[in-house]
Structure 1
């Protein structure tokens, strides 16, 4: 049994309690601890934190012989009121260092504390510094040794001033009592009240009786459906341990029949299907092969969860008729493998999961500031340099990627996730695997910002070829103006992550990469027809002191201002990509201009040119998605408040994830009204009510411009497969419901009170379905996924324990002797008298459990978990 994917495994990674491979003499000599002091400072939304260094070695630290490097969520550092013995400073991105001030000394056996302060409050253990390592210097100031910190710990965040983001944070603390209060709106439902298929089909009609399905029912398939038939056979074998024979042609008796034919549901033909389970067998008719495939997924969803947990030679299936088609043709998940790398095997597992829940696009984010993850013929530096992170004495200027997100000072170190890439063969395998499951992979090359890995790789190439005397070749793909003195800071803290849009070599590089990726698609038997051009978060100040950009502005007076060069770049790039017959997707900025006041406005220039902006910003620019759809752009909605899987489920300090856009749980993924987003997002990330008056609503005629929805998993805090799956599950199921299922009744209810009542009724069914059906199945599907189970809610009133759960149908077990609850601990069924230290966990039918909730039965009230 895995408990919260072994809590220790997660936070061992997060806090880098790593074992250094150096000799014992080199490691453990300097112990480091970190503590958040408070978020309630004189600086609005600021924080104060403290490092403590303890010298357990035999050599003193002086004011010249050391520096401590680490990664931390990018936050501006500000001076403290009192002088400190060492200074914490930002280098680039999330890379920081601490250096001693004059007179510093730390003798053997001594310890010292260094206070530092910054903006943007810290409330998560995943915000704590990680990837710590010392660099020791000789008497001449040269690097002598690099040693990872083996003895490091971050102290827990237990106080209000550590768990709230200052006075402006209006959200309640995450306590057992708060969960209990929230869960009171939910109730346990019987098996016959659960959702039969996730995501919900358009129409499902139940018959009376069941079908006992075993290997005596062959799988018959029509033309072009062999792949679907073989995949179904594999899945049925997993739950029966028997082989279901597969054969082409018409059925010659009872069996499972896969065929295509005219199918239209709710006026939608593409991907539509009909599923009929009757006493004589099963028939799946799809309008196309994708429709048949989704009918297969619905059939597999109807297999009882008990059969997944305890396979037997036959399956008992309900007699049903299903008529179904998707609400949106574009249903996607984005995965960032650049901030932290994921293996090919993990990507393939994710593709299987997406297919099961009828997601049909996969935005594969393989280029970023912190990593280039795809082998490109003719540009070996992209992976030799851009795919690995390591310490560099050259700092920002060196053609190397520095450590990020705790990757440490060594490239490709075991247990770290900063280095890695996919070979051409890997990528082609991923393309084929996804295609077999009717998932379209969309590659992305994010320019002009978020390009540091490409920039540093091409600088390494430039230096290599210049040494060889090949100046023309050296400049062929160079991405920067070497004389650019512009000063800027990106959203992720980078000072050097934007390409120069005045250079022809920048466009030449982009075309080269696109053409090589096109060849890989061809090798996979596919045609690349959609490409994501990125285009987001170009910082203010870029290109302002570039001689090459200044010349471009002189030659093109209509551009007027450096801030308009991003639109200039996209327009010029678009013409080149149009010649390759590509539809161009991008983040919302590709369809925007900036007014002189800095406000984003829809840019009419690219309407009707196969440009599709993805809209994430519904919290700082509330009606942006509506305005772009109204302006005529086809849009993909990936709202941060609903679909960002990397945002933490809640404000529990131990719950991993980011929170700059608020907190996103499964209910938020499920609760989405795509044509009226104001109906489901009420508050800012700090809990302040949003005001929608004066904003633009989506026009009825613009609804056709919403081509679909996308969920996002950015990976700053995601280390490895288990964290990826934990962040995604069960959120993905709520997203799938929003992307596939027909319009929910509550989406059109104008009265907020009535709407929320309807919404709660629907959510209660979905939450019960998660607990009783979907999550336990995920424990064994494809050898088991790692999903999150919620902590129980609980209160103590007059010595009586009352407990409940966010997903009714999960069991709650508790102890009163301070021990950790197990599947054999006392089952909570009703309020009960208790005393002592009460600990509770939720469990599902597969034996998986949540983290522990704790209360003090001897105190007047409950304590924080």
Structure 2
């Protein structure tokens, strides 16, 4: 329970800045300035300050305060007799283990907890930051470089008529003029889909015979997702073998329609012949609603977008260390405890605040009914929903929830029920630390209750799929980031190893993977998981496991191709070893990565910086062909890269496809997801659907041809696709590059389709500001401060560029 404090959050504010000792290299000292904005003195001695930060902070003790790492991303500051007088402030200096490269790594989620009653708390809402800026010289150089890069892709040599690009398209003379109402001839099973998809363009009337405007014919010779589309001056004809093909043909008609300039109220389509099918059968998007919650409406919105761009798998990441976001009947603690974060986590009825949740104590999760609706909605759009149940690592929310259940039943004198779903060994003294700074988040494979829990959860998911009328054929059970040291101090593991004749905890890992795979096989499920489930540690780190039984029932989602990380060729090695693999490239399609090195760009940077060109540069099966064009520096050792394994023909047969995704550590608001995902999402759509280009090979790569395709790609994205979604998506608008030539500043935008506005007094541009003219540039005078940005039709402003005029 939250008890209202005498002093509320309006009385205090926090300002973040670098410390005087900060140099961005060896001295990573930062400051939190805590100020009393109220009219009464505030006794800090009664309160402890808590907050989140992405990067660990060193413990520190001074005369006025002490800083302590509580694990996860939670830090505590205690005070020594400090009283803040009105308008007074306290400077708290601390040292980070890593440099803070951007806004998403700034500390957040500040709250105060009364250290006497341990129940009274309040969040601090007034938090501001002194943003780190480039020097004037560095900024001028950066903007000029951006100008030149944008300039190189301003002219599109070919027009993309349908996006993503179809396998074959031939345009002919003439136009099909769309009537106010069109007649449709199709199998009755297709009526709902056709009505839903076509009604945004024109009214529909179905007919069983005669001459129809739109005819859908079954052609059993075509693949499951293939279609043939013919648009003549008199009729539109679609051939497909299954529902998916008909759906994608209509999506292509809508895409064609979006790119046409309709004049005088006339709706037309160019006459075309299209023969199309996807490059990959697996075309996925991973959505994380665990670390920061997104409700059902956001999931449905993204399912619509996935369908529009012909993606067919939603990898649903809703279970993590920081939250369990799905209702499971019979295990209420999973959402009562596992979906709730609270400053009162020490009471055992909630998780610790994380990623900026601060004093928000509401349990946020999808109900069973929500998930069933999502399943049905996805099925209508030919999208398979694959739930991810994180095991054995990233399982802290489940562990803490089942520990609360254990304690509840123990208090009731029911030890058998208490132990039924216990997920950890309370006597485990193992010392480990995960990349997310946890030391208590891994399931214990020696406990039979772990497998009872997994089966219980899988059975409940099966019931939800059954009620939705959707086949349940695949589940991800995680498998990633189990750290060194885990299980080594567990008496349960020691006894289990002796029983099994094991000599190393590394053998516990392969036992666990084999066992959960057998559980999935028993339930008619394919086991999906991160790359580690197809790997083994033989004492020198994880390597490909060639001996895993039933490997064909295991889909590996491979993210690790980080340049310089030592696993650049991992996806190819696993595919070559016979594992069905899906590439989710951290270097290209992890959309939670920062766009560039600008401090105000949101996202993370541990894998890469990825602007649209960088993302588009991915060649899924041959990414060494052009890696030198978007990476540089010491990490790109061409002599070492040449020694890495390439995919072979056996590997290509096991390479199922690709996906992109957004992990949610930095997504405090819904619009943060839109900003990070779009427009990079379009790269995923193109690479997953469009056929392999002739230059996607180390032998045939031609950067001039690639760059021409990229220019056409961004032309379509900027002038058509982003225009279509700007009323429902807060996507990233293009940034403006600048180049001063005397008294004229020239400008370019990263992608076209939007107006550019500017001021010369340093104020932020709005729609009432001057509109920049590309033909003339911007006339300036020495001493002015040019501030320029793209604005969309609704007045939303893109990243701002500023230039001090010399």
Deviations 1:44-99 (A, max 9, x none): 6x72211112234466566742211011104252659xx56322221121111111
Normalising to structure 2: TM-score of the pair? 0.93
Deviations 1:348-398, CA, capped at 9 Å, x for gaps: 010000000000010111111111111111111111111111112627xx3
Query: Which residue does the alignment assign to 2:436?
Result: 492
Superposed displacement of residue 439, structure 1:
0.4
- Cα distance in 2, alignment partners of residues 64 and 846 from structure 1: 48
Cα distance in 2 between the residues matched to 1:543 and 1:556: 15
Q: Please name the residue that 1:863 is paired with.
A: none
- The 8 Å contact of residues 60 and 67 in structure 2, kept in 1 or not, is answered as no
Partners of 1:317 and 1:285 lie apart in 2 by 18
Counterpart position of 1:245: 205
- Given the alignment of the two structures, is residue 53 of structure 1 paired with residue 34 of structure 2, yes or no? yes
Matches within 5 A, 1:598-609: 598-606=541-549, 608-609=551-552
- Rounded to whole Å, the distance in 2 between the matches of 1:338 and 1:355 is 23
Shift of 1:693: 3.2
SS at match of 2:695: helix
- DSSP 3-state at the match of 1:92: coil
Does residue 1:88 correspond to 2:55, yes or no?
A: no
Q: CA deviation at 1:487?
A: 1.8
In 2: Cα distance, 1:617 partner to 1:97 partner: 33
Give 3-state SS (helix, strand or coil) of 1:143's partner.
coil
Counterpart pick for 2:412 among 446, 468, 477: 468
Give the Cα separation in 2 of the matches to 1:772 and 1:384: 46
The residue that corresponds to 1:634 in the other structure is: 580
- Separation in 1, partners of 2:632, 2:523: 41
In structure 2, the partner of 1:15 is: none
Match of 1:728 among 667, 673, 677: 677
SS at match of 1:746: coil
Provide, for residues 305-333 of structure 1, a one-character-per-residue CA deviation record: whole Å limited to 9, x for no partner: 5779x9x9752111111110000000000
| 1:570 pairs with one of 490, 494, 513 | 513
Q: Which of 734, 750, 761 is residue 708 of structure 2 equivalent to? A: 761
Aligned partner of residue 651 in structure 1, secondary structure: coil
**2:772 maps to which of 827, 851, 855:** 827
1:62 and 1:105 in contact (8 A); partners too: yes
Measured at CA, do residues 848 and 750 of structure 1 come closer, stay the same or move farther in structure 2, by a change above 3 Å? farther
Q: What is the CA distance between 1:112 and its match in structure 2?
A: 2.2
State the partner residue of 1:273: 227
CA distance in 1, matches of 2:794, 2:11: 44
Aligned counterpart in structure 2 of residue 29 of structure 1, from 8, 11, 15: 11
1: CA distance, partners of 2:105 / 2:432: 24
Q: Deviations over 1:184-204 (max 9, x none)?
A: 3212337xx321111100111
State the SS of the aligned residue for 2:70: strand
Give the structure 2 partner of residue 657 of structure 1: 603
Q: What is aligned with 1:257?
A: 215
Q: CA separation in 1, counterparts of 2:560 and 2:392?
A: 19
* Equivalent residues of 1:227, 1:436 under 8 A apart: no
Is structure 2 residue 117 aligned with structure 1 residue 142? Answer: yes
**3-state SS, counterpart of residue 273 of structure 2:** strand
For the residue of structure 1 that corresponds to 2:96, the secondary structure is strand
2:24 & 2:692 partners in 1: Cα distance? 48
Task: Measure the CA separation in 1 of the matches of 2:233 and 2:55.
Answer: 61
| CA distance 1:23–1:390, shift in 2 (3 Å) | closer
Q: Aligned match of 1:624 in 538, 562, 570?
A: 570
- What are the ranges of 5 or more consecutive residues in structure 1 without an aligned counterpart? 1-19, 165-171, 238-242, 413-418, 861-865
Partner of 1:704: 653
Residue 715 in 1 paired to residue 696 in 2? Answer: no
The corresponding residue for 2:274 is 322
Distance in 2 separating the partners of 1:750 and 1:339: 43
Question: What do the CA deviations read for 1:228-263 (whole angstroms, capped 9, x no partner)?
Answer: 2222233324xxxxx32234x34x224111232145
Are the structure 2 counterparts of residues 300 and 578 from structure 1 closer, same or farther at C-alpha, using a change threshold of 3 Å? same
Q: Distance in 2 between matches of 1:501 and 1:173?
A: 56
Alignment match, 2:325:
373
The answer to whether the Cα contact below 8 Å between 1:85 and 1:104 also exists between their aligned partners in 2 is yes
Work out which of the residue numbers 723, 726, 729 in structure 2 matches 1:776.
723
Q: Which residue of 1 aligns with 2:786?
A: 838
Q: CA deviation at 1:717?
A: 0.6
In the other structure, the counterpart of 1:429 is: 373
| Compared CA separation, residues 22 and 763, structure 1 to 2 (3 A) | farther
Aligned 8 A contact 1:220 1:229 in 2: no
Counterpart secondary structure, 1:433: helix
Q: Is the 8 A contact 1:485 1:545 kept in 2?
A: yes
CA distance in 2, matches of 1:53, 1:819: 28
Q: Which residue of 2 aligns with 1:5?
A: none
How far residue 758 of structure 1 moved from its aligned partner, in angstroms, is 2.1
* Structure 2 CA distance for aligned equivalents of residues 186 and 39 of structure 1: 42
Residues paired across the two proteins, number: 795
| Aligned twin of 1:11 | none
Contact 2:44–2:84 (8 Å) recurs in 1: no
Cα distance in 1 between the residues matched to 2:622 and 2:774: 41
Matched, 1:132 2:81: no
Paired with 2:97 and 2:645, the residues of 1 have a C-alpha distance of 33
Aligned partners of 2:102 and 2:600 also within 8 Å: yes
Match of 1:176 in 2: 143
2:697 to 717, 725, 748: 748
Gaps of 5+ in 2: none
SS at the partner of 1:679? Answer: coil
Deviation at 1:109, TM superposition (A): 4.2
Q: Are residues 1:218 and 2:199 paired?
A: no
Provide the rounded CA distance (Å) in 2 between the counterparts of 1:153 and 1:832.
Answer: 33
CA deviation profile, 1:763-794 (whole Å, cap 9, x unmatched) = 011011112111111224xxx22211111100
Q: How far did residue 798 of structure 1 move?
A: 1.8
Residues 531-610 of structure 1: matches in 2 within 5 Å? 531-558=475-502, 560-606=503-549, 608-610=551-553
Worse-matched range after superposition: 446-455 or 824-833? 824-833
Task: Write out per-residue CA displacement over residues 139-179 of structure 1, whole angstroms, 9 at most, x where no aligned residue.
Answer: xx433631211332122112469x99xxxxxxx99932231
By how many angstroms is 1:216 displaced?
3.4
1:269-311 deviation line (CA, Å, top 9, x unaligned): 2200011111112111112110111001000001135779x9x
- Residue in 1 that maps onto 2:152: 185
Whether the 8 Å contact between 1:669 and 1:738 is mirrored in structure 2 is no
Structure 1 residues 531 and 160: CA distance shift in structure 2, 3 A: farther
Contact 1:272 / 1:286 at 8 angstroms: preserved in 2?
A: yes
The answer to whether the Cα contact below 8 Å between 2:50 and 2:112 also exists between their aligned partners in 1 is yes
- Kindly indicate whether the alpha-carbon contact (under 8 Å) linking 1:43 and 1:119 is maintained by their aligned counterparts in 2: no
Please give the secondary structure, in 1, of the residue aligned with 2:111: strand
Q: For the residues of structure 1 that align with 2:622 and 2:684, how far apart are their CA atoms?
A: 17
Do the aligned partners of residues 681 and 471 (structure 1) sit closer, same or farther apart at CA in structure 2, a change above 3 Å counting?
A: same
Counterparts in 2 of 1:601 and 1:804: CA distance versus 1, 3 Å: same
- Give how far 1:666 is off: 2.5
Mapping 1:13-24, distance limit 5 Å = none
Further displaced range: 739-748 or 806-815: 806-815
Q: Is 2:71 the counterpart of 1:99? A: no
Structure 1 CA distance for aligned equivalents of residues 345 and 459 of structure 2 = 35
Q: What residue number does 2:469 align with?
A: 525
In the TM superposition, residue 464 of structure 1 has moved relative to its aligned partner by: 1.3
Rounded Cα–Cα distance in structure 1 between residues aligned with 2:249 and 2:505 = 52
Moved more, 516-525 or 459-468: 459-468
Structure 1 residues 174 and 260, CA, compared in 2 at 3 Å: closer, same or farther?
farther
Asked if residue 689 in structure 1 is aligned to residue 689 in structure 2, the reply is no
Quote the Cα distance in structure 1 between the aligned partners of 2:57 and 2:89: 27
C-alpha separation in 2, matches of 1:206 and 1:543: 63
Q: d(CA) in 2 for partners of 1:393 and 1:281?
A: 64
- Is the CA contact (8 Å cut-off) linking 2:733 and 2:798 kept in structure 1? yes
Q: Do the aligned partners of residues 571 and 76 (structure 1) sit closer, same or farther apart at CA in structure 2, a change above 3 Å counting?
A: farther
Map of 1:201 onto structure 2 = 166
